[in-house]
Amino acid sequence: MNAKAQELGLSNSHFESPHGLDSDQHYTTAYELAILSDYALKNPTFLNIVGTKNYTVTMNGSPKNLSNTNELLGNLNGVYGVKTGFTNGANRCLVTACKRGDIDIICVVLGADTKNFRTKDSIKLIEFSFKTYEHFNLKDFVTQYLDNWQKENDNNFIVEKGTSHHLEIKTDSSLEENAIISIKKDLTSTIEANLSLQTYLQAPVTQDSCIGHLQISSQGTKIAEFDLFSNTNIRKNHITDYMLNFFKSYPHQLETSVF
């Protein structure tokens, strides 16, 4: 369990037992419970179990009905899990997964004095999240920004001793991984890009060479940052290239020469 916690980057979690009863060496945080829940929900069996309200099992030949203790499951729009919890040390806890439209959230409430407080606090957090945040397509924003910049600044690249000065740029793979982000609805119009790019380069320039950075921010707060790479191979001029260019321009030089 602890090896898996380290694998998931849960640096503030430690498991001493599989049952989770109170112990000084058994601890986690609300944030890391959310990360762990997000990972667990990718398992279809786990997803099915935590989303089941009632289930009947047979024990010693007799049916027994099992009821999910998650009070929000089936009673709040979009809730599909995850888990309640209680110990004397932790008090009432609830991890909730809720999806409405294209927004999927995990809400964690820990240390509530009563089940009623746990329920009310969870509902408040969930409703606040859906009311306040929306999805923003970061990939489309970055792609459009770079396309516009490329069209306006294509002639600004100088590749010394290169066979060409035309250079296409691309972002790193992390843009695909963070294509969609959640942001406060009233901040989407404040998102802006800040480009730091090398426009003077020495040939050869190989494809995937890092040539700059792009920072996305809102009201001075950084949202994301991406490395920028050359999407073009530009080789260094050889002597034959200089000779070819000379002979191509030679007739023009004769026409314009003054004798």
Give the pLDDT confidence of 202-222 residue by residue, as tens digits.
888 888 889 999 999 999 999
- How large is the average pLDDT for residues 89-109? 96
Q: Domains plus CATH for the chain?
A: 2-113 (3.40.710.10), 136-239 (2.60.410.10)
Nearest to 236 by CA among 158, 157, 168, 161: 161
Least confident of 67-76, 133-142, 196-205, 217-226: 196-205
Q: How confident is the model at residue 103 (pLDDT cuts 50, 70, 90)?
A: very high
User: pLDDT tens, 115-125?
Assistant: 999 999 999 99
217-249 pLDDT per residue, tens: 999 999 999 999 988 887 776 656 545 554 555
pTM score, two decimals?
A: 0.76
Q: Is 256 exposed, middle or buried (0-12, 13-18, 19+ CB in 10 A)?
A: exposed
